[in-house]
Amino acid sequence: MGLAYADPLTFLALRYVLVVGALLIPILLIRPVFPSTKRGWGALIGVGLFLQAGYFAFTYLSLRYGLTAGAVALITSQQPILMGLLAPTLAGERVSRTRWLGLILGVSGAAIVILANATTTATSPVGILFGVLALFSMAASTLTEKRFSVPTHPLAANLVQYSIGLAIAAPLAYCLEPMTVTWSWPLIGSLSYLVFGNSLLAISLLLAMVRHGEASRVSALFFLVPPLTAIIAFVVLGEPFALTAIPGMLLAIAGIYLVMRKS
């Protein structure tokens, strides 16, 4: 992981510098239309604050302050349940009993997979606090995107949101950290994946699905992250795969099916 080679906020700022840089060339060529209303700009800024600045900063800080990756995953995997609680009031969505059953099955399955394949030490109160803040930041960004977003070209939306993240992460890194970076191939590989695979592809798809679907339903896709991560780690990295994770995978799939199924 890149955090082994750079301070957390410095790593986040470096990631966002590369994302913004990667966006500039296609934006100059295509010249996408930016929002023309306060609502549109407010939604982009809000998602930038909650997701790009809040969620990722708190996640990195929780890892740096003593939480294992498994513990962080266990905390943030509760996001679909949190959305199920908040969506009826804040997004005007109805969460049926069947969908609640799916959410419970999904979070149970995700927890089984995480506990079977990762160490979940969580003895740092500060790390736990940052993990919980990451959870609520992700929920806030999802609700902001659902309630207030307007149709915006993805290049324009990404540039604004990641610029907001950079404008917050860089000064915080400068003030709070020595900004140590040890350049290495693992760091470059981690940044490459996070810039192109995560920031420009996965997050863009997630926000697009939130805009066009129900927040509580789309959030259930987070239950796929622990099973897919375990499989990729086994196939690509050669990490051991616990057979006790298989029931968890089946539960997660069943939960996602119930949540995504049209009533």
Beta carbons within 10 angstroms of residue 143's beta carbon: 22
Query: Bridge-partner residues for 177, per DSSP?
Result: none
Supply 245's token pair: 């994770």
State the pLDDT at residue 257. 87
Helix, coil or strand: residue 181: strand
Kind and range of the H or E run holding 83: helix 79-90
State the pLDDT at residue 119. 61
Beta carbons within 10 angstroms of residue 106's beta carbon: 28
pTM recorded for the entire structure: 0.81
State the pLDDT at residue 121. 57
d(CA 167, CA 196): 20
State the pLDDT at residue 173. 92
pLDDT, one tens digit for every residue, the chain (263 residues): 677 888 889 999 999 999 999 999 999 999 999 988 999 999 999 999 999 999 999 998 888 888 877 778 888 888 888 888 887 877 777 878 888 888 888 888 888 887 886 665 556 788 889 989 999 999 999 889 888 888 888 899 999 999 999 999 999 999 988 998 999 998 999 899 889 888 888 888 878 777 777 677 777 877 877 787 778 767 765 767 788 888 888 998 898 888 887 65
d(CA 225, CA 74): 11
Helix, coil or strand: residue 148: helix
